[in-house]
Amino acid sequence: MASNFFIGIDAGTTSIKAVLMGDDGEIVAMAMEEYALEMQQDRCEIEANLYLEKAISVIRQLTKSNRELAKNIRALSFSSQGETLICVDHEGSPLRKAIVWLDNRSLSEAVAIEAKFGAEEICRRTGQPQVQPLWPATRISWLRTHEPLLFQSVHKFLLVEDYLIFKFTGKFVGEQTLASSTLYYDIRQKQWWPEMLTYLQISEERLPDIYPSGTVAGIVLQPVAQETGLPSTTSIVTGAYDHVAGALGAGNFQGGAVSETTGTSMAMVVTLDKPIPNYVINLPMQCHAIPGKYLLLPYGQTAGFVLKWFKDQFCQQEVDEKKDDAEIYDRLIEQAEHIPPGCDGLIMLPHLMGSGSPEFNSHARGVIAGITAATTKGHFIRAILEAIACMMKRNLDLLKASGIHVKEIKALGGGSKSKLWNQIKADVSNIPITTVQGQETAAIGAAILAATGSGFFCSIEAACNKMVNLSQTFIPDPKRHKVYEGVYARYVNLTHNLEKYWEA
């Protein structure tokens, strides 16, 4: 029986999740709260205080339902979405709505930044081979031009994890994995990039102090402890970018290991023992939570989000018939199970808000091709599942061409709950897919960092070995893989043929 307990919080794009874990790796309890994004054309925002309200709510749920165990909570850590920008005053209060990472308003600023510094120099400094409007540097530049009075009044430009750490400790602290995707952090020197800050007309004083993952940022503030039910001695530990935390939650910490998360977006984490010249392979590289290590981060803008969009727009019958989202999605997957691999020729490109790696095209949009009079709702659903698998394979092919050979993939996120989706990914990629016990791996990874930072484990690796448990492995089927070779070829062909169309 565990005698020490840790909380991991994952502040995702549309929900915040929490796990209460013992020092033996057992998940004692979980909690979740959702929040809605405000979306209009190329803009995506949210009231920043919702992150704090929901974080307090999920922690309170854990402590109230486990009052005796809660007395032995030693530390808490946050995992969060990347790139979402929060502008705060001297008191840490938001000055405007948070600009969510899905926001594309700062495209012209991204073009200007690339013209100023050059793509290769930007990549050498920040690890980002493409300058996209999702990077916080482009949003700060946009604010300077379009909201100059607000820009001047901002005390700190924060990311979601930074904001939550401040609210829990009163200290403006961030960490390396999350800062890696700002476009103003030098991932090799492990410091803010001076030349980019000069261009943005901000100083280091307007950014948080940066620590490694798994470092105690402070002790929980007394009012927060009272509101959440946390012990007043609880250490607040720096966490990690959600995909990095998810990798830890799956035990992905050795060079060459790969994990894949299908949540709102799709992201793969490829662990590297040292940095590589990633500009030539056009894949993002960032700091790992493990000291000295790095990672490649192939990603797609919209993955599970596509299935949610389809559910919201076209599945009112299923919504009316079922009690909760889990049952609704189970019903949708059931319809896809009756459709053969390849969906009778139906192909989808899942780029509802631009494409990520390896195309990196913010103009790209979703496409469904091959509709016939015999096409059913089940065909559309399966086409979505296959599209995300093809998007994953595009990045796996790039890794293989770069000399990185993947033998197994750890599947994470909400998508990994579906056996059909896991099998489709295995069949499309021709690589075994292994799931992890405890689906909320980003929150688990945060708990691992909390346990390490508070001194219970001597290293992150030791904590992973104790607290991570694998579940089921899906082996590729040779016959289905043969079918999917043709599906994948059409997916790639459609992608290439539309490149000029998106430029028009």
Residue 18: C-alpha distances to residues 7, 151, 451 (Å):
7, 33, 15
pLDDT at 115: 97
What are the mean pLDDT values of the chain's consecutive 10-residue runs (504 residues total)? 90 94 90 93 95 97 90 96 96 97 95 96 94 95 98 98 98 97 96 98 98 97 97 97 91 85 89 86 91 91 94 91 82 96 97 88 93 98 98 92 87 90 98 88 95 93 89 96 98 95 84
Is residue 319 assigned to a domain? yes
> In this structure, is residue 172 part of a structural domain?
no
Residue of 298, 206, 198, 281 lying closest to 247 (CA atoms): 298
pLDDT value at residue 265: 87
Distances (CA, A) of 91 to 45, 154, 328, 344: 21, 11, 42, 58
Q: Which residues pair with 219 in a beta bridge?
A: 235
377: domain CATH number is 3.30.420.40
pTM (two decimals): 0.83
b/e sequence 167-195, b meaning 16+ C-beta within 10 Å: bbbbebbbbbbbbbbbbbbbbeeeebbee
Q: By the 8 A CB rule, do 169 and 180 touch?
A: no
For residue 320, the model assigns a pLDDT of 85
pLDDT on residue 324: 77
Domain extent for 372 = 300-405+479-503
**Helical residues (DSSP H) of 107-214, grouped into ranges:** 107-117, 119-126, 136-146, 148-153, 160-169, 176-179, 194-200
Identify whether 160 is part of a domain: no
**324 burial level (CB within 10 Å; 0-12, 13-18, 19+):** exposed
What does the pLDDT read at residue 66?
Answer: 87
The answer to whether residue 75 sits within a structural domain is no
- Longest Cα pair distance anywhere in the chain, in angstroms? 64
| pLDDT recorded at residue 256 | 77
Contact by Cβ (8 Å): 22, 28 = yes
Q: State the pLDDT at residue 1.
A: 66
As for how many domains the chain has, the answer is 1
- For residue 428, the model assigns a pLDDT of 98
Residue 363 lies in a domain: yes
Distance CA 191, CA 209 (A): 10
Residue 152 domain-assigned?
no
Kindly give the pairing relationship between strand 285-287 and strand 294-296.
antiparallel
> Would you state the structure tokens that stand for residue 73, as one six-digit string?
């909570």
Rounded CA-CA distance 390/4 in Å is: 43
pLDDT of 18 reads 97
Q: What are phi and psi of 430, to 5 degrees?
A: 65, 35
Beta-strand relationship, 173-175 and 209-211: parallel
Is 120 a member of any domain?
no
Using only C-alpha atoms, what is the Rg of the chain?
22
Asked if residues 158 and 80 have their Cβ atoms less than 8 Å apart, the reply is: no
The pLDDT, as a whole number, for residue 429 is: 96
348 near 307, Cβ under 8 Å?
Answer: no
Give a yes or no: residue 231 inside a domain.
no
